[in-house]
Amino acid sequence: MADSVDTYSRLVSIRNRRGLHARASAKFCAVAGSFDAVVRVRREDADVGGCSIMGLLMLGAGKGCDIEISATGPQAREVVDTLVRLVEDRFGEGE
């Protein structure tokens, strides 16, 4: 029997005033790297690794931009849902 690969993705809008800036990207990467899954983030035609601060910055995702967070691996659903909550919570910035 073949091993199954779990893949999961969700779309979320950036809500914080400064968008996906350096500190927010660092928080995102820290969370993404703490799960047993490979995380990818897509905005329009750009697709980057979820553990790459530079990649996330290159997305240029400002307030109101939609990003798709996807993951593959045993904890795909958990990491995506956790990252969506982080984005929806404005990365803890309160603005």
| Dihedral sign of CA atoms 25, 29, 31, 32 in order | positive
In a domain, 1, yes or no: no
For 43-95, the pLDDT digits (tens) are 999 999 999 999 999 999 999 999 999 999 999 999 999 999 999 999 998 77
Q: Is 65 a catalytic residue?
A: no
CATH number, domain with residue 86: 3.30.1340.10
Please report which confidence band the pLDDT of residue 4 belongs to, taking 50, 70 and 90 as the band edges.
low
φ, ψ of residue 29 in degrees (nearest 5): -60, -40
Q: How many domains does the chain have?
A: 1
pLDDT tens per residue across span 16-27: 999 999 999 999
Domain around 50: 7-92
Q: Is the pLDDT of residue 6 over 50?
A: yes
**For residue 48, what are its two tokens?**
């980057």
Whether residue 2 lies inside any domain: the answer is: no
Of 10, 15, 18, 21, the catalytic one is 21
Distance CA 19, CA 8 (A): 23
Coil, helix or strand at residue 32: helix
